Amino acid sequence: MQALYDVPAPAKLNLFLHVVGKRPDGYHLLESVFALIDWADTLHFEKRSDGQLLRHDRGDALPADDLCLRAARALQRESGCALGADIHIEKRLPAGAGMGGGSSDAASTLLALNRLWGLHWPRARLLPLGLSLGADVPFFLGGSNAFVEGVGEILHPIALPAQTLAVLKPATSIGTKEIFSSPLLQRSKSVAIVAGFPAHNSSEDKTRSDWLASVIQGWGRNDLQAAAEHHSTEVSQALRLLQDRFGNSRMTGSGSAVFARVSGEKASQDAGMSNQAMATNLEDLPPGWLGKICRSLDVHPLREWTED
């Protein structure tokens, strides 16, 4: 058994996000397609024999309810494992972006420690533990792009065509609870069914690519976007910037990050750009903004680390 691991924790984008109801406990019911992208944190784990769980990269700035440590403690408690771990995170994903950074870190923590400690839990056993940590965690444990229902725990794996996507994160960060409690929160009738998606049924990449373009450029919407734009004019500014540059734009999750599909010749020209070059290409981003050209992922990099 290895004593250490370095693992990725990739971000996700919501290609659309419909709010379709609300549970008695106050959680909103959603429909969305979650798509993995190659913008990722890197987590480093070293096994400890004394049972301690320590995170070393943020010092006193680490919040008491750090999701990564909560995930590690939950797995240690539920498994009865006497081992511990030293944890370092090379943080690249912005907070308050709607890209699932904290949830992805938590999922990669569960996957890495499951292997590091020799637990060999199957994915089905990790999923409820992930849901107890956050609604997006099960998606990152699932390992595939997915049509998502419920509060995020009902996953229907789907195949998506390879895509190049421009992702823009304004300086502002937005709290999920603040957006979901906004009077401007929109609601959709449940119009999407996973069996009707070309991405699910079609074996022809062009058909699926055309469908994905129509999703991002016109079909559906993000029901949280109006509330986020009211909360921050930077979200509106970022959406306009991508619309002008790529002809489409949409917010992901509860924001503040937005994205656009980069197609055809533009994709080949822009895909290899650095963040600095991307900023220049997006006409001098304001201070504190991040811009990155990303590639979609077919599956989570740790997809094979658990059994179905």
Under a CB-based contact definition with an 8 Å cutoff, are residues 291 and 285 in contact? yes
Is 196 annotated for ligand binding? Answer: no
Q: Tell me, yes or no, if 136 is annotated catalytic.
A: yes
DSSP letter string, 97-122:
SSS-HHHHHHHHHHHHHHHHTT----
Distance of CA 115 to the CA centre of its chain: 22
Q: CA-CA distances (angstroms) from residue 26 to 53, 175, 201, 226, 276?
A: 33, 16, 34, 20, 42
Under a CB-based contact definition with an 8 Å cutoff, are residues 185 and 179 in contact? yes
Is 272 annotated for ligand binding? Answer: no
Is 94 annotated for ligand binding? Answer: yes
Is 95 annotated for ligand binding? Answer: yes
Residue (of 87, 103, 90) closest to 11 by Cα position: 103
Tell me which amino acid residue 124 is. Answer: A
d(CA 34, CA 60): 33
Is 150 annotated for ligand binding? Answer: no
Under a CB-based contact definition with an 8 Å cutoff, are residues 122 and 86 in contact? no
Between the two ends of the chain, the Cα-to-Cα distance in Å is 21
CA-derived radius of gyration, the chain: 19
Which of the following is catalytic: 41, 105, 136, 270?
136
Q: Tell me, yes or no, if 47 is annotated catalytic.
A: no
Is 100 annotated for ligand binding? Answer: yes
Annotated binding site: 94-104
Annotated binding site for ATP: 94-104
Q: Which residues are catalytic?
A: 12, 136
